[in-house]
Amino acid sequence: MQNSVNINTVMFKKSFFYPNELASWLVAVNGEKEETLLLVSKITHLDQILDMKKKKIRITPDVTEYDFKWQPPKDSPKGYGLDVWVENDQGDVLAFFSTAFDVLEKWTQHPRYGFMVDFSPGRKDGDQTLDQLLPFRINALQFYDWMYRHDTYLPPEDPFIDPLGRHLSLETAQRLIDIAHERNMAAMPYTAVYAASIPFYKQHPEWALFETDGKPSFFGENFLVIMDPRPDSPWTKHLLNQFSEILANTQFDGIHLDQYGAPKIGYDQEGNVYDLAQPLAAFINSTRQVVDESQGQRGAVVFNAVTNWPIEAVAPADQDLVYIEVWSPYIHFNDLGLLIQQAQTLSDGKPVVIAAYIDPAFETNALLNDAIIFANGAGHIEIGEGGGYLADPYFPKYEIPSAALREKLERYYQFSIRYQNWLGPTTQAGNHQMVNIQGYESDAGITKNKIMPVVRESEGTSAISLINLMGSKHGEWEKELKATPTLLSNLTLEIGSKGREVEKILFTSPDLDDISLQPLSFEQTGESLIITIPTLNIWSLAIIEWKN
């Protein structure tokens, strides 16, 4: 491929498209010399070519943008591949770019959750900031600590000072919501289910959740008091009314509920003990009623299951997805997939979003985390404000990833979107034991120096992801892996076919510049299927399409 022509980028102005919405994108190209060439956009769904758009263009040293439009089918959720190239009159490809987009009825069908933390008065860079998130197709934003107080969300005046002394503005938040909506990004307000300021507690001391000694339960050093979140408690009624006020006076798209993972039990003023798991599930259901009354089906409810607690109670509750903030004891790469699969089972197949915080300087960890999370059909809240990366549970402490990591993560997001109907929330976990990798360990009980197979099943198809942990000194997702995994090639896989006959097998990887599908040869004898995976850097994917 010659380097005289360059596709600088393929830009989308929307994070996704609604059914019946026209898909559109811009292709930016330039070259070393002036010449007339052909610019091609090929649209695919999985392994089916749906359309080809062609334009005669004049290449110049200056970057020129060309727009394309295409009307997708109204089916959703549905991911599409987009391959763009420049070719000459002889059909030689001079430049190539591979990406993806999707059609969703609602962002929660395939969540790409991001975050915003800067609501300073007079902020003017909202358009630029949110445009930085479009390559990741971020389709919802958690507005973190946007509020006046944890117990009184809307400020008495604007601008205002929050409990940590930050100068904030509701007008800024409103403007960012509008900018997000222009890009089909939902805006979700952070709230906490049982946190009240000290002055509010002093006004309502009987509303608190108490410890065994009869004293109120504090979060932080005299920062917040934990209130009683049981159904019909005065606090619960107050907070649900606050949610109604938020939705009536802003353009937020639902409610994001947080908790702190503790306490797990509480006491009332009389010293009676109660478990908080079911009250939190009931709180989710009550919040759903508030959101539905305000917004109908377009509104969303999300609850943070901190350290996977209380997942049995909250996963089946009336929320749009299962959101899990991962902490010890879930420290290994294996745990990420297990948490996702458990949440999918308990919730009867709801989408899952993982919050797992690491320093983006740990680039191998970041890629492995996303590979495991995306391969298991889930999303990862990590990218947001200013192109930042979540490195801490207090979101304003985000870090900026390197340009190299950002580029790789963009491709991972686009890969998961393109193949979501084989990998995403609508698929089911398969049996990884059907995959044997000759010469390599893949046992689920081993956390390091292995290849991790992840299998997802959809109608007529098995998607087999291979995640490369070879050469890793440990198996902990949060602890830095200083070296990249050992690059592997020509891996022989023996796959149990359960009597099914193969139609075809395809290969792709987000570690390649070209994320389109390539055919793989195979041998099938009886119950056994043999294939060769050409390359494994971090994450490679084999698609088996079965006959009938």
Per residue of the chain (548 residues), what is the pLDDT tens digit? 445 899 999 999 999 999 999 999 999 999 999 999 999 999 999 999 999 999 999 999 999 999 999 999 999 999 999 999 999 999 999 999 999 999 999 999 999 999 999 999 999 999 999 999 999 999 999 999 999 999 999 999 999 999 999 999 999 999 999 999 999 999 999 999 999 999 999 999 999 999 998 999 999 877 999 999 999 999 999 999 999 999 999 999 999 999 999 999 999 888 889 999 999 999 999 999 999 999 998 999 999 999 999 999 999 999 999 999 999 999 999 999 999 999 999 999 999 999 999 999 999 999 999 999 999 999 999 999 989 999 999 999 999 999 999 999 999 999 999 999 999 999 999 999 999 999 999 998 999 999 999 999 999 999 999 999 999 999 999 999 999 999 999 999 999 988 899 999 999 999 999 999 999 999 998 889 999 999 999 999 999 999 97
* Cβ 20 vs Cβ 76: under 8 Å: no
* Helix H or strand E encompassing 236: helix 234-249
The number of helix segments (H) and strand segments (E) in the chain equals 10, 34
Q: Do 5-103 and 428-546 share a fold?
A: yes
Cβ neighbourhood burial of 483 (10 Å; 0-12, 13-18, 19+): exposed
Domain boundaries, the chain: 5-103, 428-546
d(CA 285, CA 273): 23
Pull the structure tokens for residue 122: 């007079």
Instruction: For the full predicted model, state whether its pTM sits above 0.95.
Output: yes
Q: Residues near 319 by Cβ (< 8 Å), separated by ≥ 6?
A: 284, 288, 301, 302, 303, 350
- Kindly state which CATH superfamily the domain 428-546 is placed in: Golgi alpha-mannosidase II (2.60.40.1180)
CATH class of 5-103: mainly beta
387 sits in the region (left: phi over 0; alpha: psi -120 to 50; else beta) called left
User: Which residues face 238 on adjacent strands?
Assistant: none
Cβ neighbourhood burial of 238 (10 Å; 0-12, 13-18, 19+): middle
